[in-house]
């Protein structure tokens, strides 16, 4: 069998393309945060992870430009060899202090954090137990590791305890959860998870990709619940509230030292360019000194949640400015996405495996920089389209 034969047999995406409802890989010619341009049309963006709207903040843009002017466009090497700048170390120190941990380590992408840190820490005699709704990067990090992976039903801590009870007494164990779940918008139940993990001697790793800049005055899920000292590892990305690209892991210094020398995605990838590092640091400074951005994000998110619920949409279990509009099956989800897009509203059509089968949805998310007028227009478009398609009365 030719190894490429499977490529020709993959027809699923082409079949959706043929219907005119394909919702992915949309090439935009301009992106100003709350609005984007496609084919000459201005479209309101309610599908971005730019929660604080900092990608267009003058301080962040100026920092990125300064990074290029001072350091050039690339470090052209891994952190392990020639790619470490004092700037990287300064950013790590600032991030560790921000999330309340002793030390931090900056990777070139958020995906690489989970691939590298998890696979480095979970050895052949260890178990890693994860929430079924965790991000794909966590699953892949577990698969790369040599330990045994177990999955518990979403936010079901009784199920988690049953799994922990069955593990060998001498096995290392680590529980990994998203702080804010990226599709459902709900928050991990850390107040109950922490004592359960302590009871069974399990370390706790929280993926705060969608929590930093959102919860705990921007400091994440553990800070939101007052449990920073009870969580062992905090992971974050720069591609969302930090308005850049990259990621980090924070925890005890000796753990960071180990990951630094064992995480293959860290050791064998080119380091984060200075422009991205400085943009992330500028965003961090804004979060530390300008709390109004987080407050405005929540005002906008709650306005949309209340508005969508009043219209009659099913918004699931969300507790944050990530708001799914659950439709159910793929085809009506894609059709709804298409009509919204044509009417000037950018959402994300999400289907299995990102969400359970039968729970396809439009993932919407909001920014601190959305205006009242934009949000009112978004609700009007959502309402008209939902009524036309019979999704709401």
DSSP string, 274-322: HHHHHHHHHHHHHHHH-THHHHHHHHHHHHHHHHHHHHT---TT--SSE
Identify the burial level of 248 via C-beta atoms within 10 angstroms of its C-beta, where 0-12 means exposed, 13-18 middle and 19 or more buried. Answer: buried
Residue 17's pLDDT is what? Answer: 95
Phi first, then psi, for residue 368 (nearest 5°) are -65, -25
Residue of 154, 210, 293, 370 with catalytic role: 210
210 catalytic? Reply is yes
Handedness of CA 56, 62, 65, 71 (dihedral sign): negative
pLDDT in tens, 210-263: 999 999 999 999 999 999 999 999 999 999 999 999 999 999 999 999 999 999
% helix / strand / coil in the chain, to the nearest 5? 45, 20, 35
- Please state the pTM of the whole predicted model: 0.96
Residue of 240, 241, 271, 283 with catalytic role: 240
21-35, 141-155, 213-227: least confident range: 21-35
Query: What kind and span of H or E run contains 130?
Result: strand 126-131
- Report how far residue 98's alpha carbon sits from residue 383's, in angstroms, rounded to the nearest whole number: 40
Query: Is 32 a residue whose pLDDT tops 80?
Result: no
Query: pLDDT averaged over the chain?
Result: 97
- Report how far residue 80's alpha carbon sits from residue 82's, in angstroms, rounded to the nearest whole number: 7
Q: Output DSSP code: residue 391.
A: S
Residue of 48, 182, 239, 244 with catalytic role: 182
240 catalytic? Reply is yes
- Report how far residue 174's alpha carbon sits from residue 172's, in angstroms, rounded to the nearest whole number: 7
Phi first, then psi, for residue 202 (nearest 5°) are -100, 135
198 catalytic? Reply is no
- Report how far residue 56's alpha carbon sits from residue 67's, in angstroms, rounded to the nearest whole number: 16
Residue 312's pLDDT is what? Answer: 97
- Report how far residue 305's alpha carbon sits from residue 322's, in angstroms, rounded to the nearest whole number: 9
Residue 384, token pair as written in the block: 């008209």
Please give the domain boundaries of the chain with CATH numbers for all domains.
Answer: 11-45+291-388 (3.90.1150.10), 58-289 (3.40.640.10)
- Report how far residue 341's alpha carbon sits from residue 23's, in angstroms, rounded to the nearest whole number: 9
23-37, 53-67, 129-143: least confident range: 23-37
Identify the burial level of 112 via C-beta atoms within 10 angstroms of its C-beta, where 0-12 means exposed, 13-18 middle and 19 or more buried. Answer: buried
């Amino acid at each position: 069998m030719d190894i490429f034969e499977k490529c020709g047999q993959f027809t699923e995406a082409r079949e959706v393309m043929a219907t005119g409802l394909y919702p992915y890989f949309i090439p935009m010619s301009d992106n100003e945060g709350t609005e984007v341009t496609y084919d000459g049309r201005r479209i309101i963006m309610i599908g971005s992870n730019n929660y604080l709207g900092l990608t267009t903040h003058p301080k962040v843009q100026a920092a990125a430009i300064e990074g290029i002017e001072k350091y050039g466009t690339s470090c052209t090497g891994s952190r392990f060899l020639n790619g470490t700048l004092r700037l990287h170390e300064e950013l790590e120190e600032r991030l560790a202090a921000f999330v309340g941990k002793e030390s931090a380590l900056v990777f070139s992408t958020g995906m690489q954090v989970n691939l590298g840190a998890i696979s480095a820490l979970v050895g052949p005699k260890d178990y890693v137990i994860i929430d079924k709704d965790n991000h794909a990067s966590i699953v892949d990090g577990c698969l790369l590791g040599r330990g045994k992976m177990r999955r518990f039903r979403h936010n079901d801590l009784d199920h988690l305890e049953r799994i922990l009870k069955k593990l060998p007494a001498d096995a290392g164990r680590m529980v990994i959860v998203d702080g804010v779940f990226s599709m459902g918008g709900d928050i991990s139940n850390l107040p109950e998870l922490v004592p359960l993990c302590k009871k069974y001697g399990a370390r706790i790793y929280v993926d705060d990709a969608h929590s930093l800049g959102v919860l705990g005055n921007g400091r994440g899920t553990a800070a939101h619940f007052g449990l920073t000292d009870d969580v062992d590892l905090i992971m974050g990305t720069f591609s969302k509230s930090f308005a850049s690209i990259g990621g980090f892991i924070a925890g005890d210094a000796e753990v960071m030292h180990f990951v630094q020398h064992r995480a293959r995605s860290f050791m064998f990838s080119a380091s984060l360019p200075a422009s991205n590092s400085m943009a992330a640091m500028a965003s961090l400074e804004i979060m530390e000194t300008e709390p109004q951005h987080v407050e405005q994000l929540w005002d906008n998110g709650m306005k949309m949640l209340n508005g969508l619920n009043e219209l009659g949409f099913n918004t699931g279990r969300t507790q944050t400015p990530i708001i799914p509009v659950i439709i159910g099956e793929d085809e009506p989800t894609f059709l709804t996405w298409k009509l919204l897009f044509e009417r000037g509203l950018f959402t994300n059509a999400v289907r299995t495996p990102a969400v359970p089968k039968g729970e396809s949805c439009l993932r919407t998310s909001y920014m601190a920089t959305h205006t009242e007028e934009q949000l009112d227009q978004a609700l009007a478009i959502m309402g008209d389209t939902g009524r036309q398609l019979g999704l709401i009365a």
